[in-house]
Structure 1
């Protein structure tokens, strides 16, 4: 299950379909009407809709971080597994991955962290050894 968007959502949707897994795509709504995705996400949203086995409508504003995090929490709460592409860093106020990993674990949703080839784990700046 992915929200419409470029980047990780589109890559995840493509991977799900390539591996023969079912794909559910979530579309934001405003007052029960599908919301137009931001310009940068429109091509990806169209592709995801063509790949989808199922489309779900979920009320949230795709350009406002807090409603997006709330929508992600609802997705995680009804999932059997959270597959996170995450470098282990804490949430920085824009990237909610750390929050969603913690949220899933607190609710007993299994979490699998994916480390893409070439990714490097780094300690947060405050924890790095002085050298």
Structure 2
């Protein structure tokens, strides 16, 4: 199962999303579940943490060699810890962390999974490679998408 989702969500929305991801993961046998994530700050990392906390395993897609550098410094320790716990990593072969690299990483992710959880407000992407683009790509590829956007969740 893969994850895609909006970054930059408030602490209040984070709690709603974490609860919704927990509820989603309760439907699966964690001994058989492998979560696939780019482990960015926000839903990507929350999902990976939840999978690991329940005894599942994770694979990580690294969209670009410089990807970590583009993430908030406050997230680097969590990123490193999650990357260390990955049973496998996948990369795009792209050096610079651009929207093109991020979409390429998402395309690899979609190709690895049987289903995709999307923490998505249903709105169009704010830039190429955004959550809506990933959802659209997954649907075109025939990968089932489960949208998680709890009542009361908002994006700034």
TM-score of the pair, normalised by structure 1: 0.74
Are 1:9 and 2:40 matched, yes or no?
Answer: no
* Residues 52 and 114 of structure 1, relative CA distance in 2, 3 Å threshold: same
d(CA) in 2 for partners of 1:23, 1:62: 24
Aligned-residue CA RMSD in angstroms? 2.5
* Residues 102 and 27 of structure 1, relative CA distance in 2, 3 Å threshold: closer
The answer (yes or no) to whether the contact 2:92–2:101 under 8 Å persists in 1 is no
Task: Please give the secondary structure, in 2, of the residue aligned with 1:119.
Answer: coil
Number of aligned positions between the proteins? 117
The answer (yes or no) to whether the contact 1:5–1:42 under 8 Å persists in 2 is no
Moved more, 37-46 or 104-113: 37-46
Runs of 4+ in 1 over 6 A off after TM superposition: none
Higher Rg of the two aligned structures: 1
CA displacement at 1:67 relative to structure 2:
1.4
State the structure with bigger RCO (CA 8 A, min sep 6), 1 or 2. Answer: 2
* Residues 91 and 108 of structure 1, relative CA distance in 2, 3 Å threshold: same
Deviation by residue 1:53-101 (Cα, 9 ceiling, x = unmatched): 3333332346311111112112112211111100000112166111111
Unaligned runs of 5+ in 2: 1-35
Higher helix share: 2
Match for 2:120 among 86, 89, 113? Answer: 86
Aligned to 2:136: 102
